[in-house]
Amino acid sequence: MAFTTLDMDQNRPADRPVPDCPIVAIVGPTGAGKSEAAIRLAERVGGEIISADSQQVYRGMDIGTGKVDAAVRARIAHHLIDIVDPDQDMTAALFAKLADRAICDATRRGKPVIVAGGTGLYVRALLFGLFEGPGRDAELRRRLHAEAESRGGPPALWQRLQAIDPACAERVDCNDLRRIVRALEVYELTGVPMSEHQKQHDFRTMSHRYRAHLVGIAPERTTLYQRIESRVDAMMARGLEREVRRLRTAGYGPALRSQAAIGYAELHRYLDGRQSLDQAIQLIKRNSTRYARRQLSWYRNDQRIPWHCEPSDIDLEALERYLRS
């Protein structure tokens, strides 16, 4: 079965309540082996996989996001991959809505569901819901966007966020303008840092939307960083630079939020003549290891997640029993 592309119409009537079904969610940093573990479990139980990755949703961004190849997706259904173009927006709330539909459909067909991905916010939104926060302030957002533009881009606002709310800044990429602006907006409107709000809505206190069992994979740091560097080299050898050139030719330039993703932003700067190819590759490796640390920080204080060094350490038989419970 091929991967599923879901109806994106947000004006449809409200979806059915989420099904009372057991779900396994495999979490951890980039390069840890989440996809490998999810595939092995899906093959064992005849299940389907929900990709919880904020970059794999984009069509045409294949190599740099580490999507599993078409042969695997033909064998095991993967949902929430290739569902929007790079100039379309995807939010955690919309992701959860589309994932709910995919889970309902899989459950109706008797298929166990495995969630796997490194975007902690997406996992949180799906399994636990989101902190809604104050309403949007259009004028404040315009001012923050103008400030970012006048000061050279999102990193300038990220530095302000780091001073106001270092815990939140640790979890947000310095080029993720949307999330940086939202965090600053919440602080300015409430006087309370986003991280303090989120403490009241974390994995330990939030109500579960699903019966979910989380499993973590986190290799030893030196091993993980070496693996990430090798992975970047492999992506370059597979044609990541050509992929970015194709995106630019198709009109998907560096100003788009999707193109701020690690691997893409650095190569756009290279293609704009702002740095050498070697500098771009080294930055991809550096930014990827920093991202891995941010990913781990999402789950640092959740003692309920059993952590494993390698995918092969996971007890698949126990997870199978859980999914069939």
User: Which among 157, 153, 98 is positioned nearest to 122, based on CA atoms?
Assistant: 98
What pLDDT sits at residue 310?
96
- What residues in the chain have per-residue pLDDT under 50? 1-15, 204
What pLDDT sits at residue 179?
84
Q: Are 323 and 47 in contact (CB under 8 A)?
A: yes
What pLDDT sits at residue 246?
98
Structure tokens at 188: 């300015």
SS (H, E, C) the chain: CCCECCCCCCCCCCCCCCCCCEEEEEECCCCCCHHHHHHHHHHHHCCEEEECCCCCCECCCCCCCCCCCHHHHHHCCEECCCCECCCCCCCHHHHHHHHHHHHHHHHHCCCCEEEECCCHHHHHHHHHCCCCCCCCCHHHHHHHHHHHHHCCCHHHHHHHHHHHCHHHHHHCCCCCHHHHHHHHHHHHHHCCCHHHHHHCCCCCCCCCCCEEEEEEECCCHHHHHHHHHHHHHHHHHHCHHHHHHHHHHCCCCCCCHHHHCCCCHHHHHHHCCCCCHHHHHHHHHHHHHHHHHHHHHCCCCCCCCCEECCHHHCCHHHHHHHHCC
Q: Report the CATH architecture of 138-199.
A: Orthogonal Bundle (1.10)
**What region does 90 belong to: left with phi over 0, alpha with psi -120 to 50, or beta?**
beta
CATH code for the part of the protein at 223-293: 1.10.287.890
β partners of residue 116 = 26, 51
What pLDDT sits at residue 165?
87
What pLDDT sits at residue 202?
54
> 0.85 exceeded by the pTM?
no
d(CA 152, CA 162): 17
Angle at 252 between CA 247 and CA 255, to 5 degrees: 130
Domains 22-130+207-219+297-323 and 223-293 share a fold: no
What pLDDT sits at residue 10?
40
What pLDDT sits at residue 4?
36
What pLDDT sits at residue 141?
86
β partners of residue 212 = 23
Domain spans, the chain? 22-130+207-219+297-323, 138-199, 223-293
Q: 22-130+207-219+297-323 adopts what CATH topology? A: Rossmann fold (3.40.50)
